Structure 1
Amino acid sequence: MNIKPIIILAFLISLSLTNVVVSARLFPNVSSWLNAHAPTGGAWDAFLNFTGCHRGDKYDGLANLKSYFERFGYFPHAPPSSNFSDEFDDALESAIKTYQKNFNLNVTGVLDDATVQQIVLPRCGVADIINGTTTMNAAKENETASFSKPKFHTVAHFTLFPGMPRWPEGTQELTYAFFPGNGLSDAVKGVFAAAFARWAEVTSLKFRETASYFGADIRIGFFSGDHGDGEPFDGSLGTLAHAFSPTNGRFHLDAAEDWVVSGDVTRSALPTAVDLESVAVHEIGHLLGLGHSSVEEAVMFPTISSRKKKVVLARDDIEGIQFLYGSNPNFNGSTATSAPERDASDGGRCLTCVGPSSGVFALLTFAFLF
């Protein structure tokens, strides 16, 4: 087989994507940029105006809130092009109750302050309800939505992707590489190495960096906006990163975020500071086959506040990954400790990552590249 045309094609495709591959905002020293930026608003801050709204009310913009709930699976039967009204109807009340249950809020069906504050937070782009199965709290109550058959396999509190995809039985080592267009420093690459090491500590898997991006099992890159995989990034805050289930191997991070490479992220005065290792550890969990956990202390919990470091695997994370790959024979039952996992004094903003449940997209050209 003549692979020369394939190599040339890959090169031409990479050139065509130079407009979406940008230098990531990576900060090796937190103290050098404490006052460099002003706080930014959240994507859904307008929903704060709906606090106290309940069934029977009518407010301008409620249609947008319904679209939000549709996006995340709470209106399973609504057609994509549906035109929602601004009326607080029975369907919206039902969606809110399900949402409140998923996020451990008081189930009232009313847009109370706690519910609205949760809604406006930046979050994971994966739906909370997929094919009728909620990925939140599923293990705690062992329940699924009634409008479809369950698709998620649940063990303890962690979840696995539909079909329980994993790297092939007998896999001992996975290679990873970085997108050449990013030109990442050794310090940045070292953050990812540390993140991989946290999973290797508790499983039989090992991870090794390779220079061959197209030949690596896992391919890591920072991208901006619509980068061709069907999951466009949204700029600062919102969706931080996404990774795909085995054995796809793609791991993309939003280049527009204020990524902290080293230093104490919890002391940053910048509301948008995001700890790179914390996000990397979470996304690697997706790459290995884990879905989101309903345990807030778990690395695989869907959200993480800005100015927070959360890299130590919780018991739920360990049980999930060992269910898939077994235990490291040298694992003594506890993982390495890290910097204090606390929010900034003002609470910070809640940021998320995304791990799509499908590793296949229609844009095959881009799938080949990434």
Structure 2
Amino acid sequence: MLRFFNVLSLVTLVNADNRLISNDLQATMYLANYGYLIPALKNISSSNALLFLVSKEAYRHAIAEFQSLAGLEPTGILNEKTLEWMNKPRCGVPDRDYHAPSAATPPLTRRKRFSVEDRNRWTKKHLTYDIKTYTSQLSSSEVDHEIARAFKLWENASVLTFTQVTTGQADIVIRRSTVVLTAKATWAFTFWLTRSHLFMEARLIFTSTNLLHVAVHEIGHSLGLFHSTVPSSVMYFTDKSYDPHFKLSEDDISAIQHLYGKNERSNGGYSEGNYHDNSDKEFKELKKQLEETTSIVEDLKSKLNGILGKDSIPFIRHRHFIVKIYLNSLEATRKPVDIGRIPTSCEDLQRMGNTLNGVFLVKRSKKMETIYCDFSPNGKKLETWIGTADVKSAPTYFYVTRNFSLSSDVGPIPFHLALVNAGNAMDLKTGIFTAPKSGTYFFSFTGMANFPQSSSSLLRLGVGFFLNVRQVGRSFVDEANSVNFQKSQLTLQSTFGLNEGDRIWLQIIFMASGVSLYDNEWHYTHFTGFILDEDLSF
């Protein structure tokens, strides 16, 4: 089965003054590239010929089509908002197959949500895939795991099943692309005619999170799905920010089920809908059983009280004594005591009404700890300590880089690109990290010093950590008798105990004449940090 497929897009971010698409000619090339105008137009080098071949009506209709996909008012006019959307990071697959509008085509006001192509659907339900090349940024086992998760999302929502193979001809082959970008390239893509190839751009810095997002989107294309007009959809055409609850949207599920049907398997497969339906049924059944059990216990308790009397417990032995103790335990559990704070021991848990032995989390002075509580009457030891628990009120970690060299001391070193910034504690423009919570933090810096030619004098570059206004660490590299453009690496790592609101930054502390902190689009400057332990004293 031959399938037509695109390579994953990679976008170069630029500012408003250096926008890649800023006029009608560039917009025409963009629209031809993504299925709104005749695809052959993108191969025409003459700007005059290009604009001559496109009628005003066709151009206006193409603009309106793109505006509709982006959720804008379909005016058909290339305005600032439309240019902003054309310059967003996006997938390189065309948004649609090109269809020339007729003279009677009405003004476009609304597109259907998902878009599929029946002729691109697979004619079989079980598909195989083979990962031919891996990214160096993740281990092969991590890549295998994330790709399998991506296929599983589509499998859970449809009748399709997927199996990874390493020999023979797979239905879907996944490779790493080696597309080369120029400084002015907006995105890179390549068309490939084969059974079905997925390409992961070599210069995109992958984490397990964005690999999952990208793989799910591109697999959707290989299954016959076009781009959706729903922003929450996995198949939306622009890049998305990190989502810890990433899953298929209702629009994605409707699209894949339109092509292949619902998942009706009973051997562990489930769709988003029937998963929640089954959970509701199980919850109602458990609730009914609990109500019936409570009624039986209350009836038994009433009968035992009538036979034994409330004051006869000390003199009752054997089974009657055990039953009465059990009933009293149930009563205590149903009526917890409010101790006015988070429990700190098994004693506190017992006062709150807990009677069942087990493992519990309790709050010590600054950390959460795990303990085992034995509430049985003949227990030898009420509390057994197990260990500390890694509990954080919110995730805090970042990884930032620069895009060009720095040749002077500008105070805190600023950064240009955040690969991750959970908690938004790192300010890119100022280069300053502000601790959102008190606790222990780890920071690591790696940079590249660039030296000019030197006959004998010692040239040096030094970088230091600053906590608030005080220097708390430094690293330097020096060279003598260097050749022009000689490079040397310097690193700096440290662990700090920070209070909420403390600020950490990197700063050049000495720089010889002609020396610079080297960087370009390949990113040689790396600054990362994360919280190790949070101080939970409150």
Q: Secondary structure at the match of 1:177?
A: strand
Aligned residues: 257
Residues 284 and 181 (structure 1), Cα distance of their counterparts in 2 relative to 1, 3 Å cut: closer
Quote the offset at 1:194 in angstroms.
Answer: 0.8
Q: Does 1:72 align with 2:37?
A: no
State, as a whole percentage, how many aligned pairs show the same letter.
Answer: 29
Residue 282 (structure 1) aligned to one of 197, 207, 217? 217
Quote the offset at 1:46 in angstroms.
Answer: 3.5
Q: Does 1:188 align with 2:123?
A: no
Map residues 69-218 of structure 1 onto 2, 5 A cutoff: 69-76=31-38, 79=41, 80-81=43-44, 83-85=46-48, 90=56, 95-128=62-95, 130-132=97-99, 145-146=101-102, 157-161=113-117, 163-169=118-124, 171=125, 173-180=126-133, 185-212=140-167, 214-218=168-172
Residues 259 and 296 (structure 1), Cα distance of their counterparts in 2 relative to 1, 3 Å cut: same
Quote the offset at 1:222 in angstroms.
Answer: 1.1
Counterpart of 1:96 in structure 2: which amino acid? I
Q: Does 1:254 align with 2:209?
A: no
Name the counterpart of 1:140.
Answer: none
Unaligned runs of 5+ in 1: 1-38, 51-60, 134-144, 150-154, 227-232, 263-274, 349-370
Instruction: State the TM-score, normalized to the length of structure 2.
Output: 0.40
Q: 8 Å contact 1:241–1:283 — kept in the other structure?
A: no
Q: 8 Å contact 1:225–1:234 — kept in the other structure?
A: no
Give distance in 1, aligned partners of 2:32 and 2:271: 44
Give distance in 1, aligned partners of 2:67 and 2:198: 30
Q: 8 Å contact 2:13–2:89 — kept in the other structure?
A: no
Answer with 314-323 or 180-189: which moved more: 180-189
Cα deviation digits, residues 140-192 of structure 1 (max 9, x gap): xxxxx33799xxxxx9632223x5222224x3x22211115767520121001
Name the counterpart of 1:334.
Answer: 273
Quote the offset at 1:250 in angstroms.
Answer: 1.1
Q: Secondary structure at the match of 1:219?
A: strand
Counterpart of 1:216 in structure 2: which amino acid? A
4+ runs deviating over 6 angstroms: 86-89, 233-237, 240-245, 342-346
Counterpart of 2:28 in structure 1: which amino acid? K
Counterpart of 1:198 in structure 2: which amino acid? L
Cα deviation digits, residues 12-46 of structure 1 (max 9, x gap): xxxxxxxxxxxxxxxxxxxxxxxxxxx96349973
Counterpart of 2:25 in structure 1: which amino acid? A
Quote the offset at 1:207 in angstroms.
Answer: 1.5
Residues 104 and 249 (structure 1), Cα distance of their counterparts in 2 relative to 1, 3 Å cut: same
Quote the offset at 1:343 in angstroms.
Answer: 10
Give distance in 1, aligned partners of 2:40 and 2:169: 41
Instruction: State the TM-score, normalized to the length of structure 1.
Output: 0.56
Name the counterpart of 2:348.
Answer: none
Quote the offset at 1:237 in angstroms.
Answer: 9.4
Larger relative contact order, structure 1 or 2 (CA cutoff 8 Å, min sep 6)? 1
Residues 242 and 199 (structure 1), Cα distance of their counterparts in 2 relative to 1, 3 Å cut: farther
Q: Does 1:63 align with 2:21?
A: no
Q: 8 Å contact 2:156–2:271 — kept in the other structure?
A: no
Larger relative strand fraction: 2
Give distance in 1, aligned partners of 2:154 and 2:39: 39
Map residues 235-274 of structure 1 onto 2, 5 A cutoff: 239=187, 248-261=195-208
Give distance in 2, aligned partners of 1:343 and 1:200: 30
Quote the offset at 1:279 in angstroms.
Answer: 1.0
Residues 114 and 301 (structure 1), Cα distance of their counterparts in 2 relative to 1, 3 Å cut: same
Answer with 311-320 or 181-190: which moved more: 181-190
